[in-house]
Amino acid sequence: MKIGFIGAGNMAQAIIKGLVASETVTGDAIYLTTSTVEHSQEVAGQLGVHALASNEELAKTVDYLILAVKPGVIPTVLTDLSAILSTKDLPIISIAAGLTLADLANLVPTNPQQKFIRVMPNMNVTVRMGVSAITANTFVEEQETFTAQTIFDAVGSTYLIAEKDFRNFTSLAGCSPAYTYLFIDAMSRAGVKNGLPKALATKIATEAVMGSAALLSATEDETPWDLIDKVCSPGGTTVAGLVSLEEDAFTATVIRALDATIKRDEEMTK
């Protein structure tokens, strides 16, 4: 199976690195394009995959095509591919935020039965701990959705969800690595304020967050609050910090941030 990536920036590179590391496919089965041939060759060389000269050539070559360009670039890319898509049965996977299956279909008027699969991954696919949502239009066969799922299972976990839940998923998983890094950085700055070197403080905060997520994930019947209660010794240090966080509306602030991502995704769809 040959997989093509149109766009090889942050996300495509993360997925390719994870895919190759998982040994699901070899670099030899992966093809990419970027905005220039020179850049495609440079990135392909770094990743150990093939660069092709144009998006049209890529679409002709591969069995599955992943659109990994910014949402605003997708209309131009699909317009350029419309002739090929009218003759070739090529499932297209879009990872773009804010573009629905219906939006994508409207961009390929030459093939009213074009197969589109929508995936929302996150950056953690780089270390094969990504979380990806998958949905497909009615023209996609079960086996093709399964193949898309296999690609993203190789770089983490996948959830087949209804398209109506994509915005919610995007805020919870697509965007949340950025918020988690912000939290880690904020803790690390506190460590610096209180006397530790930045690199050491960041390493400690990162390992604390990683272990906390691993513990929560490993427990079968405990909620986050059950674990919070276990960390808070009566009259101790943690509860003092927890009260301070909630005095500053930590929970409400996080919910408001995720609501803002949903609102932005809605704006991008219009």
Ligand X SMILES: NC(=O)C1=CN([C@@H]2O[C@H](COP(=O)(O)OP(=O)(O)OC[C@H]3O[C@@H](n4cnc5c(N)ncnc54)[C@H](OP(=O)(O)O)[C@@H]3O)[C@@H](O)[C@H]2O)C=CC1
Ligand Y SMILES: O=C(O)[C@@H]1CCC=N1
The count of other CB atoms within 10 Å of the CB of residue 259 is: 11
* Residue 111 binds which entry of ligand Y, ligand X, none, CB below 5-8 Å type-dependent: none
Q: Nearest approach, Cβ of 113 to ligand Y (angstroms)?
A: 28
Judged by CB under 6 A, the stretch of 44-52, 170-178, 226-234, 237-245 that binds ligand Y is 170-178
- Let me know the angle formed at the C-alpha of 214 by 94 and 183, rounded to the nearest 5 degrees: 70
- Interface with ligand Y (CB under 6 A), residue from 18, 91, 156, 174: 174
Q: How many residues bind ligand Y (CB under 6 A)?
A: 4
Number of alpha carbons in the 13 Å side-chain half-sphere of residue 22: 22
Token pair 């994508």 is found at 104
Q: Nearest approach, Cβ of 235 to ligand X (angstroms)?
A: 42
Is 7 annotated in some ligand binding site? yes
- Interface with ligand Y (CB under 6 A), residue from 170, 188, 191, 202: 170
Q: Which is nearer to ligand Y, 91 or 130 (CB)?
A: 130
Q: What is the 3-state secondary structure (H, E, C) of 156-225?
A: EEEEECCHHHHHHHHHHHHCHHHHHHHHHHHHHHHHHHCCCCHHHHHHHHHHHHHHHHHHHHHCCCCCHH
Q: Nearest approach, Cβ of 205 to ligand X (angstroms)?
A: 21
Q: Which is nearer to ligand X, 178 or 231 (CB)?
A: 178
Tell me if 13 sits within 8 A of 43, measured CB to CB.
yes
- Interface with ligand Y (CB under 6 A), residue from 69, 77, 97, 101: 97
Token pair 């591969």 is found at 62
Closest listed residue to residue 8, CA positions, set 60, 52, 61 = 52
Closest listed residue to residue 93, CA positions, set 69, 65, 55 = 65
Q: Nearest approach, Cβ of 186 to ligand X (angstroms)?
A: 20
Token pair 């996609």 is found at 140
First to last CA, the chain: 35
* Residue ranges in contact with ligand X by CB under 6 A: 6-12, 33-36, 39, 55, 68-71, 73, 77, 95-97, 120-123, 174
Is 34 annotated in some ligand binding site? yes
- Interface with ligand Y (CB under 6 A), residue from 125, 136, 140, 175: 175
Query: Which residue lies nearest ligand X, judged by its C-beta?
Result: 9
Is 10 annotated in some ligand binding site? yes
User: Rounded CA gap, 70 and 54, in Å?
Assistant: 17
Annotated binding site for NADP(+): 6-11, 34, 68-71
Cite the annotated binding site for NADPH by residue number. Answer: 55
Could you list the residues that contact ligand Y (CB under 6 A)? 97, 170, 174-175
